[in-house]
Structure 1
Amino acid sequence: MPKRGYHHGNLRQALVDAALTLIEEKGPTGFTLSEAAKQAGVTPAAVYRHFGGREDLIAEAARQGYEIFADVIEYAYGTGETALSAFSATGRAYLAFARKYPGHYIAMFESGISVNRTADLAAVSGRARAVLERAAEGLSAHIPPDKRPPTAMVSAHVWALSHGVVELFARNSPGTQSPFPPEDLLESGIGIYLRGLGLLPPDQ
């Protein structure tokens, strides 16, 4: 019987898929390359034909995660009929991504792998960041340039707010259940933040 990874015809992807499963089960540092190879149905030596080590394997999982993430938030941004609804949609998409792709999310944000580890990883993470900055730019377009907050700062703050809601309330962390849905927490937090910057009038 052929090895499972080869049977699927794409050993590299089979190893990434195995790593994602193990990351979900054991965390990014809780598994070995041998375990990933076993799950993919190949020998440990076969892993080194595609990856130099576990961190390279996790970096590829993170890269693929950022590809999905960038596509998800770009689609969400495009669904907004106004600058505010487009901006809010990107935040909700962040929560949805974390729920649907936990292995990718962990590889991207909890593995300790730098987004600058490879050029491809840096490029795709930059694409995701650019969507958020574009959304922030749309919100501040009505403000005179000399009074407009930096769009990179606004998008970074909202990214951090979204990440905090995910970590505390959207991933079933023990002892951190919120009396409010994560989406409501995020939307109200974004509203308070944007009003504080003067990007929204009080009645929006």
Structure 2
Amino acid sequence: MNKKRGYHHGNLRQALVEAALALIEEKGPTGFTLSEAAKQAGVTPAAVYRHFEGREDLIAEAARQGYEIFSDVVEYAYEKGQPSALAAFEATGRAYLAFARKYPGHYIAMFESGISVNRTPELAAVSRRAWNVLEKAAADLSQHIPEGKRPPASMFSAHIWAMCHGVVELFARNSPGTQSPFPPEDLLESGIGIYLRGLGLIAPDAEGH
């Protein structure tokens, strides 16, 4: 019996996603072919096309699954930080960094592959879910800012997302020539702290109450 065992539709599809994630992590999102993904999953290249039209479809599915995990991670962090709006907000920032460390293949597929989140309705919906958690955390916290000085929650969360992403890209993924003398977690924590002080959400150390 020379049949590939254990693969029917769902299993094979997921085996290909797992193979793609490993290749993305090793070679980047454009550094591998569908044939390589098929070989790694132990199937023929022809089998891939029964599930994915091309490499971008495969990467998009890896990104969709990544957003599912990411949404769960940031939702959990947000809930764990309650009832303090500040703790919930800071926890979502830390969760972003933790996710990037633990799921590098998914992270690259989501944020570095050039795949649009609007490629499919499913991908758009799940990425929106993740964004909504970060925006909700920002909205909760911004209630403590006088209305006239309050940035829109979407801008507030975009600033923090950009800071998280920058720390990950530059300092958490061993980019050449960008070694920082501080751990990425410390950079993110202090950066968020400075930002929140600037908005008056954290009292300067001298004042604290």
Q: Same fold (TM over 0.5)?
A: yes
Contact 1:5 1:15 (C-alpha < 8 Å) held by counterparts? no
Amino acid of the residue matched to residue 164 of structure 1?
Answer: G
Deviates more, 1:146-155 or 1:118-127: 146-155
Q: Which residue of structure 2 aligns with residue 151 of structure 1?
A: 153
The alpha-carbon deviation at position 184 of structure 1 amounts to 1.1
Q: Name which of 168, 171, 178 aligns with 2:170.
A: 168
The alpha-carbon deviation at position 134 of structure 1 amounts to 0.7
Amino acid of the residue matched to residue 168 of structure 1?
Answer: L
Instruction: Tell me how large the CA RMSD over aligned residues is.
Output: 1.7
Q: How far apart are the structure 1 equivalents of 2:19 and 2:145?
A: 49
Q: Name which of 104, 111, 114 aligns with 2:113.
A: 111
Contact 2:52 2:58 (C-alpha < 8 Å) held by counterparts? yes
Pair 5,24 (structure 1): closer, same or farther in 2 beyond 3 Å? farther
Once the two structures are superposed, what CA deviation does each residue of 1:138-187 show, in whole Å capped at 9, x if it has no partner?
11113343432100000000000000001111112232221111111111
Contact 1:5 1:40 (C-alpha < 8 Å) held by counterparts? no
Name the SS of the counterpart of 2:201 in structure 1: coil
Name the SS of the counterpart of 1:55 in structure 2: helix
Deviates more, 1:135-144 or 1:49-58: 135-144
Amino acid of the residue matched to residue 25 of structure 1?
Answer: E
Q: Which residue of structure 2 aligns with residue 63 of structure 1?
A: 64
Q: Return the TM-score normalized by structure 2.
A: 0.92
Pair 18,3 (structure 1): closer, same or farther in 2 beyond 3 Å? same
Pair 9,80 (structure 1): closer, same or farther in 2 beyond 3 Å? closer
Q: How far apart are the structure 1 equivalents of 2:145 and 2:10?
A: 54
Pair 97,13 (structure 1): closer, same or farther in 2 beyond 3 Å? same
Unaligned runs of 5+ residues in structure 2 are none
Q: Return the TM-score normalized by structure 1.
A: 0.94
Q: Which residue of structure 2 aligns with residue 124 of structure 1?
A: 126
Deviates more, 1:44-53 or 1:78-87: 78-87
Q: How far apart are the structure 1 equivalents of 2:112 and 2:74?
A: 20
Q: Which residue of structure 1 aligns with residue 26 of structure 2?
A: 25
Identity %: 84
Q: Superposition pairs for residues 188-199 of structure 1, below 5 Å?
A: 188-199=190-201
Pair 20,78 (structure 1): closer, same or farther in 2 beyond 3 Å? same
Q: Which residue of structure 1 aligns with residue 188 of structure 2?
A: 186
Q: For this pair of structures, how many residues does the alignment match?
A: 204
Q: Which residue of structure 2 aligns with residue 53 of structure 1?
A: 54
Contact 2:145 2:199 (C-alpha < 8 Å) held by counterparts? no
Unaligned runs of 5+ residues in structure 1 are none
Amino acid of the residue matched to residue 128 of structure 1?
Answer: A
Contact 1:92 1:183 (C-alpha < 8 Å) held by counterparts? yes
